[in-house]
Amino acid sequence: MKHLTSIKLLRSKFSRFLIVGITSVAIDFVIYLLLLFLGFETDLAKAVSFINGAIFAYFANRGFTFQSKRKDFSGFFMFSTLYILSLMINVTMNELVLSLLGRTKLIIIFAFLIATGLSATINYVGMKNFIFNK
């Protein structure tokens, strides 16, 4: 019975989006922390790490989450446009939280999570309704 529930869960676009999203966030977070450790400014580190997570997200969401057959450039262009908007919102929100609450280790993680949650919501709505809709 649990096996069938797991299969149903993986059939849900939202569940697959969460799996891809968690993996994308992990990629984003690890690169962000690495770049901070190497001395990058938070805004540049956040932008670079977000872009790396986005590259993974495009291919994983196209093939796994939404199982899109779309291989044309317009899908990639729309995804890129969505993610540029999402990147600006992500970096701005991250910096806003850091400027309001400080730059302690705990606040850096909190700001990352707030920025990521906001951009993930925007990304899901955009991909589901505009980019990979059937």
Q: What is the pLDDT of residue 33?
A: 96
Kindly indicate the confidence band of residue 72, based on its pLDDT and cuts at 50, 70 and 90: confident
- Per-residue model confidence as pLDDT tens digits over 4-14: 555 565 678 88
Place of tokens 């850091």: 98
**Does residue 90 have a pLDDT over 60?**
yes
What's the whole-number mean pLDDT along residues 91-111? 96
Burial annotation 45-77 (CB, 10 A radius, 16+ → b, else e)? bbbebbebbbeebbebbbeebbebebeeeebee
- Per-residue model confidence as pLDDT tens digits over 44-71: 999 999 899 999 999 999 999 888 887 7
Place of tokens 């700001």: 111
**Does residue 95 have a pLDDT over 90?**
yes
Other beta carbons within 10 angstroms of residue 108's beta carbon come to: 20
Q: What is the pLDDT of residue 88?
A: 94
pTM for the structure as a whole = 0.76
